[in-house]
Every structure is written in structure tokens, then in C-alpha cells.
Structure 1
Amino acid sequence: MKELEKNKILSQIEENLYQLREIIIEENNERAKIGMTEICIDCGKSGKVCCGSAIEFKYSDELLLINLILGVNFPNQSQIPDMCFFLSPSGCCLIARDAFCINFICDKIKEKIPVDKMRRLRELEGLHLNLQLQIEQRLKRFISAYDLTAFRNYNK
């Protein structure tokens, strides 16, 4: 983080990070509005979750860094055995998530929520992923340019 601040990278991506956070908030509101959040909560209460083992390995160093910048505190250990490392009893601890996690729609949601109700959510998710990728690419260039090996293979 000190290197990001020292090299003014944070100030360069600050607006993008703000926009990303706002899009994610809007996505979450849309999920609640269409009933998706309630479906996920019900599954979680019954011990069923979509976040299987080793999904955390899909996360790039840059995406983990975005979460750190956004103030996420990573757990010290897995909280739910045989599930994604980032899954907590109250859901995913990450703010910015991998495309796989964002795009996954289970059969229960497909059955209960009509496609036309999902349209706005999918548009927001597209905006989210596009902006997130832009931020990840800028961070990747920075990490490579400054040879910040501390970030390389952080999640492996």
C-alpha cells in the first residue's frame, strides 16, 4: 500500500475505485430487489452454498489488492470447512469478486427469478466486471513496473 501511495497509483485509480464501489452497491440492491438475496440467504441457512472448495484460487493478486484497498480484512483461516476461503457465516467477505462468482447463477435462482427481472442486474455486473478489469490491469502494470514481488503469487 505504501508503494501504491508513494507512486501516486491510488490517487490515479481513486475515481475508478469509487465508481466500482458504487456499482457493487447498486448490484447488491438490485439482487435484493429481485429476490436473489433472499434465495441465497435461505440456502445458506439450510447449509447449502455455491462457494465450493478452492474457488479462492481463481482470484488474481490484483483483485485481492483491490479488496485490500477497499478495506476488506481477509480471514486468517477458512471459516467454513471445504468451502471458499473467503466465505464467512454471513456470506462472502470480499467486495470485489471474481467473474466466476459474479456470473454464477444457480438452478434455484433460474427457476424462481424470470430472465427479464435479471436484466438490470446483468447490466450492472457487466459494468462492474469491465471497470474492475481496468483497475486490475493498471495494478498489474504497476506491480510489474516496480517489480513488487511481494504481490506476486500472493494467493497461490
Structure 2
Amino acid sequence: MNINASSASSLPIEEKIRYARELFDRGGETLLREPSVTKLLAILDRNIAASQEAMVRFGIVDACRHCEEEEGGSCCGAGIENRYNPILLLMNLLMSRDLPEKRQWENSCFFLGENGCRLKARHILCINYLCLRVQKMLPPNDLIALQTITGEEMDTIFLLHETVKKILNKNIR
């Protein structure tokens, strides 16, 4: 089986999730024994924690929650999930994050739950995007600090994504 995330890009999200679970069943143990993967997973876990802490510290979590609960919607709208590919979803399984079976709210992203995103490893758009309102509320130095922190998370996601894909292509046929 050739692991080509771009060939799965047009699949419905439920199929991408099924594919990610199949990849995990077939290659998860191999990946979790691979030192390069376990090292990147540990780094990513730390980077995600740092990004989340920064989002709380800079008031972004509260601003997004307010928008969702008080103003009738957030940036996590239906369709955002279409940007995800099976490898990125597999990375969540490798991080012991279960993938949802169904969408919680019809007009929201498939992965949006009661407490925000149900995924741990998120798409770059979901990490990097800040609406104009949030951008205006942050002083320039805070915005730069946030972008530096989240940039490390995005770099690690990219490295892990490519490493997982390479190992799967080599070991799963």
C-alpha cells in the first residue's frame, strides 16, 4: 500500500478516519517502536502543550470561546475537517487521541467538541489562523511570541508527518 496523503484528500472525513485507523492497525506498533517517531512524538507533545499554554495566556482561548458561545460561531466551521489527511489523523492515534465517530454540531468542524478541538495534532491552518479581531487584541510582541511558539509545533508536525509517511511506505505494502 503506497501511503499518499494527497490521493486521499478528496475522500469524505469518515473515510479518512477509517483509513487512518487501518494504517494504525497495520503499522502503529512499527511506528511506535521507531526511535525517530517516538522522539518526534515527545517533542510534538511538548510543543502542543506550549502552544496551548500560550493561547490561554494571551487570552485567545477565552476570545474563541466567547465567539462560539455568545456570537453564534467560530472559525471551526463545517468543512475545515476536509483539510485533514489520513497521516495527520494517524498521528493523533499515535498520540493516544481517539478520533470521533460523528460530528457533534452540524455547522461546526467534525473535530470540534465541548472543550474545543478533539484532536491533538492539528492541521497547520487550525494552529496558525487568527481572526482579525484576535490579531487586533494582541500587542505586536505577544503576536510574535505566539507565532514563534506555534511555529515550533507546526515544524514538528511537518517532520513527524513526513517521517511517518516514509516509514509506512517502506514497511507496509
- TM-superposition CA deviations, 1:9-38 (whole Å, max 9, x none): 544311211111111101111111111111
Describe the superposition over 1:14-70 as per-residue Cα deviations: whole angstroms up to 9, x where unpaired: 121111111110111111111111111111222321112211111122111111111
Does the C-alpha gap of structure 1 residues 64 and 22 become closer, same or farther in structure 2, counting only changes over 3 Å?
A: same
Of all paired residues, the percent bearing the same amino acid is 26
Measure how far apart 1:71 and its partner are: 1.3
1:142 aligns with 2:167: yes
Q: Which residue of structure 2 aligns with residue 152 of structure 1?
A: none
State the distance in 2 between where 1:8 and 1:45 align. Answer: 38
- Residue in 2 aligned with 1:15? 39
Matches within 5 A, 1:87-98: 87-98=112-123
What TM-score, normalized by structure 2, do the two folds share? 0.78
Q: Is the 8 A contact 1:5 1:11 kept in 2?
A: no
Are residues 1:37 and 2:64 paired?
Answer: no
Report the counterpart of residue 84 of structure 1 in structure 2: 109
Q: What TM-score results when the alignment is normalised by the length of structure 1?
A: 0.86
CA distance 1:116–1:28, change in 2 (3 Å): same
Instruction: Provide, for residues 103-134 of structure 1, a one-character-per-residue CA deviation record: whole Å limited to 9, x for no partner.
Output: 11112202211222111110111111111111
**Root-mean-square deviation (CA), in Å?**
1.7
State the shift of 1:142 in Å: 2.0
How far apart are residue 7 of structure 1 and its match? 6.3
1:66-145 equivalences in 2 (<5 Å)? 66-145=91-170
Q: Which has the higher contact order (CA 8 A, sep 6+)?
A: 2
In structure 1, what is the Cα distance between the partners aligned to 2:155 and 2:41? 12
Rounded to whole Å, the distance in 2 between the matches of 1:105 and 1:6 is: 37
What residue number does 1:27 align with?
A: 51
Between Structure 1 and Structure 2, the one with more helix by share is 2
Greater than 3 Å deviation, 4+ residue runs: 6-12
- Which sections of structure 2, spanning at least 5 residues, go unmatched? 1-23
CA distance 1:38–1:7, change in 2 (3 Å): closer
SS of 2:68 mapped into structure 1 = helix
Q: 1:8 to 1:14 in 2, by over 3 A?
A: closer
Of 21, 25, 29, 1:5 maps to 29
* Aligned partner letter, 2:138: I
Contact 1:87/1:93 (8 A) holds in 2: yes
- Provide the C-alpha distance between the structure 2 equivalents of 1:44 and 1:103, rounded to a whole number of angstroms: 18
